[in-house]
Chains A and B, each alone.
Chain A
Amino acid sequence: MSGRERPVRAHDLFWLVAGFSVWAGGFSALYGLHAIGCRAGWDEMDFVSLSVNRWALTGVYLAHITAGAALYLPLRAIAGRWQGESARTMRQVAVALTLAALASTIWSGAPVLVLEGCI
């Protein structure tokens, strides 16, 4: 024991929803930004051979993938300190959910890389 072990507490339940909250934020942001970009005519403005709309959506997409991946590091550190009866299952569930959410973010936003425009 390193002496930093502690039981799972109520605020640790955050890790059960953190990954998919990032997914939900990314999904909403992509859908909303796409509508705003189409309304503002960003799909008809070019920047470095791609439309501004595509740049904006790709940026949001990558930002959410980064955020989802970044959750994993603190989760490993924090969940590694959990001890007690609930620790093992909670760790398993939290890690599985964080990774599943990251995969979901990559999958559901991927169309921004291949589809274009507001039609």
Chain B
Amino acid sequence: MSRIPPITLHRALHAVWKAPRGPGALSAVNHSVVGRRFIITAFVFFAIGGLLAMLIRAQLARPENPFLGADAYNQIFTMHGTVMMFLFAIPLIEGVALYLLPKILGARDLAFPRLSAFGYWCYLFGGTIILASMLMGVAPDSGWFMYTPLSSSTYTPGVNADVWLLGVTFVEISAICAAVEIVVTILKVRTAGMSLTRMPLMAWYLLVTAGMMLLAFPPLILGSVLLELERAFDWPFFDPERGGASLLWQHLFWLFGHPEVYIIFLPAAGAVTTLIPVFARTKIVGYGWIVAAIISLAFLSFGLWVHHMFTVGIPHLALAFFSAASMLVAVPTAIQVFAWTATLMRGRPQMSLPMLYLMGFFSVFILGGLTGVMLALVPFNWQAHDTHFVVAHLHYVLIGGFVFPMLAATSYWLPLMTGRMPVFSVSRSAFWLIFLGFHGTFLIMHFTGLLGMPRRVFTYEGGLGWDAPNLISSIGSFVMAAGFALFVVDIVLQLRFGRRFRRNPWGGTGLDWAMPAPAPSYNFASLPLVTSRDPLEDNPRLGADIAAGKGYLAGAPRAEMETLCVDMVSGEPDHVLLLPKNDYTPFLMAGGLAVFFVLFLFSAYAFSLVGVVIAAVFGWRWLWSLGARTDPEPLDAGHGLVLPVHYAARSAPTILGLKYFLAANAAFFGSLIFGYLFLWTTAPDWPPPDILDIDLLRLATLAAGLAGAGVLARLARRANDKGDARWRMLALAGSALASLLTLAGLGALALLNAPSPVSHAYGAITMAVIGYAGLHVLLGVLFTAYALARHLFGYVSAVRSADMRGAEIWQAYTAITALAGLALIVLMPGAFG
């Protein structure tokens, strides 16, 4: 047990963990820094989105208002939705998760700090591209959901839609990175003894949310890629005159779009679940039921997407499936509401500031949920579709289910960042302005919609009964905006005049309050042993014990950034994770991607590949910096615990991270297959005039190449496990060669046998499937070449096997998906032609 004074431990740890200042800040990878950057940037975008909303309400305040023209209005309402959804809500969730997770899990940082930093730069650069377009007057103007054919080049010939497609895709890279980071961190990077069932419920919420992000974002990314291919190269995926289908876009968009609502809601609900027991002075009721409800909600939310498309002409039976699922999703939501209510009833609620926002959440979100059940009913939906009733509903759900809880969460956790308490009189006034302004804006908007006012119209005639409700909504929106402004004032006052405190001002029982405030760069001077869900209740002196180095990995005796990795379920420590120091690589790699996206936007397609090369070079450098050239000695973690270093542990986060990336990739591939089948079964002018012409021998050769590359990579890994360096090298080289030959075969198939991707959607989607396979085979060449290089430079051994296992997993994934893709494009014409 350490006897070192806490201040000495603090100085030693801070010297290792501190974030650089000045230009060096670009290299910062610490989760607190990156999380704060996400949160602050998201709130800046929120302010911009709010200003756009005020312009919308100013325009609609009275009939035939000349304030904004149709073109400007289209850009403004599109940007309002885009900014709020893609640049505020999701990044705020990511920022909160990245900032909080290590603190509530008892860790010093995330599993992949550089990945989070890379994600932040992608978000910032992508968001800046979208925002810059508004300043140049070429902002997206087809609605935040970019429906085709309005967003196709025929009706949107400028770059407006390209800005959205490329900018949002760039930002979504960030979301996928954050999702992998969150899942792996929660499953592996926790403190000792924190089993899955001792985890704070917030971690369960974030785990499920991140899992949903991995599966929900790829359909949108695929849709954006396909639409950009159509706009840039005339591949007609969505053009009905050439065998495409506009509805394919709607399907891909809402496959993302509806789970997205729950991706936004669940972390906010996690905050509600965290805060209610604290302010009710009791424990949460129904821990297990809440976990079951979250997982149910996640699955069910993927069966609702067509309820955004009830009026497009889908057969009644299919509508009934989605209507039934839409009603069903209310059940797990209600279970959570009952658990929260029961907790409040069991405890002694205190109406502190965060609690005030939670009460706002209850009243607003439940109303939004009820109108959601109304809209789940097909006959009502047909009447209310595309009216202001839907606008009112979605704002009740999103502001009620996300903004109010996040304001509560901000009030609750901001003192952890600042070390100061809020100035209460100002913050209470801010709440009431937001709450009353919100209802003033959106309650009456339900009636505006029921009176027949459609969405997305820049003006309306007087005398239709819409004048007064619109004016009231506009006045309400300005009151709400004043409330948000006051909220910002409150934060400034808190930073300047807020009362200082040392620890745990709210009486929380989680590890996030077992550290001094503001939270230090390393979070915990030593990592505690957790024996219940409420460690601070078990030991109110836990914070002092941690600071005194009485836990594991006390201080920084090796001058390394260390944290524990545990068994996924039991929370028993199984290795020590050595974290990377500050590094410019994530910034430079994201910069390379920015070059690609910007040049592509300006139609410099060939030159844009320079950006890809830059990103690939820094990606290689990033990977190369992992691991070591010798087998590491186990480390003393304290209290008699000796653990291996992560790159000598079989359950290290790296391979788990790769698997979750591939899960997202599989969702992308599944969406592509869905698109192929959708076009075959639904689009006009199918079967196509020209069919893929491939002989059996060539097909067998391609299949053998794919399977061979996979099998050889597996043999290489097995040889490595046995310490057989010669066979390891030979099998790896064989796998690389097989991939190279397969790549050539796929290239020949695309160039010589596949029908033109321009003349019919069949050719386009077939080429997309071949392209997917080809890209993965190319990356397989790089993966195996990388593993070969690591072998040659001594980074690989039977103990240090991550490179070999990575290559094996990639080649296996490539073989399975490419073979499935080839089977589809060869067999479908025979089955349905």
Contacts and interface: CB of A to CB of B under 8 A. Distances in A.
Interface SS of chain A: helix, strand, loop or mixed?
helix
A32 to B, nearest CB: 7
A16 B300 contact: no
Contact of B315 (A10, A85, A96, A117): A117
A46 interface: no
Interface stretch (B152-160, B316-324, B810-818): B316-324
A110 B295 CA distance: 22
A57 B317 CA distance: 11
Given A16-B295, A92-B288, A39 B681 contact: yes
Contacts of B492: none
Interface string A86-114: 10011011001100110010011111100
B567 interface: yes
Contacts of A86: 195-197, 569-570
A24 B295 contact: no
Contact of A24 (B302, B318, B569): B302
B827 interface: no
A118 B303 contact: no
Contact of A112 (B317, B568, B569): B317
A115 B320 contact: yes
A89 B321 contact: no
Given A27-B321, A30-B321, A38 B315 contact: yes
Nearest to A24: B299
A31 B197 contact: no
A27 B306 CA distance: 12
Nearest to B198: A85
B289 interface: yes
Contacts, number: 115
Interface string A42-86: 000000000000000100000000000000000000000000111
B300 A104 contact: yes
B613 interface: no
Contacts of A118: 315, 317
Interface in B481-515: none
Nearest to A92: B288
B374 interface: no
B70 interface: no
Interface residues of B, number: 36
B677 interface: yes
B19 interface: no
B245 to A, nearest CB: 12
B738 to A, nearest CB: 32
A14 B551 CA distance: 33
A78 B122 CA distance: 44
Nearest to A94: B292
B291 interface: yes
B710 to A, nearest CB: 23
B318 A96 contact: no
A31 B315 CA distance: 10
Contacts of A85: 195, 197-198, 570
A102 to B, nearest CB: 12
Contacts of A117: 315-317
Contacts of B300: 20, 104
A5 interface: no
Contacts of A10: 567-569
B536 to A, nearest CB: 19
Contacts of A109: 321, 324
Contact of B569 (A13, A27, A40): A13
A53 to B, nearest CB: 9
B296 interface: yes
Contacts of B287: 89
B328 interface: yes
A57 to B, nearest CB: 8
B328 A107 contact: yes
Contacts of B682: 35, 39
A90 to B, nearest CB: 6
Taking each of A27, A32, A40, which has the highest tally of chain B beta carbons within 10 Å of its own beta carbon?
A27
A9 interface: yes
Contacts of B295: 16-17, 20, 93, 97
A1 interface: no
A115 B317 contact: yes
A85 to B, nearest CB: 6
A74 to B, nearest CB: 19
Nearest to A8: B569
A7 B569 contact: yes
A21 B196 CA distance: 21
A111 B320 contact: yes
B671 to A, nearest CB: 12
Given A8-B569, A119-B316, A31 B321 contact: yes
B291 A93 contact: yes
B195 A108 contact: no
B197 A90 contact: yes
A89 B288 contact: yes
A30 B325 CA distance: 13
A107 B330 CA distance: 13
Contacts of B324: 107-111
A16 B211 CA distance: 13
Given A7-B570, A107-B328, A96 B317 contact: no
Contacts of B320: 111, 115
Interface in B807-832: 832
Contacts of A84: 570
B677 A96 contact: no
A111 B288 contact: no
A58 to B, nearest CB: 12
Contact of B299 (A9, A23, A34): A23
B655 to A, nearest CB: 13
Nearest to A114: B320
A20 B299 contact: yes
Nearest to B532: A85
Interface string B218-243: 00000000000000000000000000
Contacts of A96: 288-289, 292
A90 B568 CA distance: 13
A96 B292 CA distance: 7
Taking each of B302, B317, B832, which has the highest tally of chain A beta carbons within 10 Å of its own beta carbon?
B317
Contact of B681 (A21, A35, A107): A35
Nearest to A112: B317
Interface in B783-807: none
Contacts of B296: 20, 97, 100-101, 104
A97 B300 CA distance: 12
Nearest to B287: A89
A117 B295 CA distance: 33
Contacts of A31: 318, 321
Interface in B676-691: 677-678, 680-682
Interface of B: 195-198, 287-289, 291-292, 295-296, 299-300, 302-303, 315-318, 320-321, 324-325, 328, 331-332, 567-570, 677-678, 680-682, 832
What are the 6 tightest A-B residue pairs by CB atom distance, in nearest-first order?
A111-B320, A20-B299, A89-B197, A96-B292, A39-B681, A92-B288
Given A40-B832, A108-B303, 4 more contacts: A24-B303, A97-B296, A100-B332, A112-B317
28 contacts: A9-B569, A10-B567, A10-B568, A12-B569, A17-B299, A20-B295, A27-B321, A34-B318, A35-B677, A35-B678, A36-B677, A38-B681, A39-B681, A39-B832, A85-B195, A85-B198, A89-B287, A92-B288, A96-B288, A96-B289, A97-B295, A104-B296, A107-B324, A109-B321, A111-B320, A117-B315, A119-B315, A119-B316
Interface of A: 7-10, 12-13, 16-17, 20-21, 23-24, 27, 30-32, 34-36, 38-40, 57, 84-86, 89-90, 92-93, 96-97, 100-101, 104, 107-112, 115-119
